[in-house]
Structure 1
């Protein structure tokens, strides 16, 4: 009798232990709380718009856990990037990455974060850059702008976040393609964030710029800006009559473009990576995400490329230009 009771007690204990393990596993299933998505640039720009679109869409697939967007700006996006890399790799702090996360370390050898100091979860969208002028400008075409730049002896001005930011390289690559000095043929006027850059052109404070479509499309659609050229592999559906840098024969400018990705701190557990693979797979076909991408002039590319290989290729592209333009000796 005692042996039967002992055996029954053992079975009960085993069942209890198994149940406890299952309950614990379920309790620890990711996510169990709000997720912070760090956008390393200012509000209103292309990265901010992409981050909020992702947060708004992905929350439907994160077991009803909210995704909170936080802007952490400064140092070419590196402040926000570094903040994320310093967080616990548990999936509750993620980074809305941009091309700057590959470009900055490609230019600055003392970058606080290397291009590969992350867990890469996916490339989200391709964001074309647009070369544009104020609608009141006498410049009607790219050729008109080039002629104006050549005649000005460096006096023409363009707005950019900085000489080694993507919107700086977008212009410098074009100047280099024209065999002009990329650093002196036109004068860079610095502004912070896509909305400030757009405001500079709208206010007539600069002659032209080449920044992310998301920051310019509302003004182009309102007839306040004139697009001259797009930096993308093919013409934008929203601007079918505007030629691309590639089709105009600009070799370097034809490779420049913006993009958004989703990163996490290095060492993210495999189950969290798997969860985000699932989430992004759902986001990729979500009409809300696709509609928001189209509205800001972007193309969803979720699942199209291996994120690690893609980011490495971007690092190598801008590292090569940085050496050619003299930023790296």
Structure 2
């Protein structure tokens, strides 16, 4: 049985007045550039996935340094859209967004093969339900660790929202909206609804401070709270709870989890430019990028890397 969709989104860095904290977060802007922690003091793995996409980043991780640099050089030539010999911040951003979209497309393609059982070019709700919950439907487990009945109902509700023409058959665009709702405008309400259902423990239709903090931390055993908790209380009071009534409604929750004023691809482009722009002229030459190749792509100095994952584009 294919593992059911779990309705907990991995989130990226909070923008603007919100400071990043070391805890579980729900804020996201479209599909995350990477599910990895962004910590350049430790490694550049987040940057690699943001720049290349998850699949390509894994491929580059297996390559010797010289092959990694060679392939990066090919990418640089592709990024330079106006062929002026430089890569601008905007060209970096366009490339990162392209990698993000390609990751979503590849994910949809991989799952499509699992769910389009009759190979008719659409995925019906019945097909998705039977593949995902087949074992449960055959033998419902009331004492299971997971409430599969509830999960199935949530999946069906999301499927129906993604299904724009209401025929209970998803084409690839509709299936992409189902799998990646944060990337589609008409799916934002369902993302908010699912988030509030997860956090609103007293079922009053709002998220209060206790529920907000409780969603980020497991406070068991009377352990001391991490330092970031007090910072998040302040974030809640000053920025999340806009009307100052002590709780977040649907609109405030939407502003929290799907902020409109933050572009992760733009932020990553600025970061890569800052890391690599040796002469500080606001644009990158090919040599500047290759000099900092470890920021953009990964590599391992191995004997077998050369033979792995050869792609036509390289």
TM-score normalised by L of structure 1: 0.19
More helix by share: 2
TM-score normalised by L of structure 2: 0.20
Please identify the structure whose Cα radius of gyration is greater.
1
Q: Which structure is higher in RCO with an 8 Å CA cutoff and minimum separation 6? A: 2
More strand by share: 1
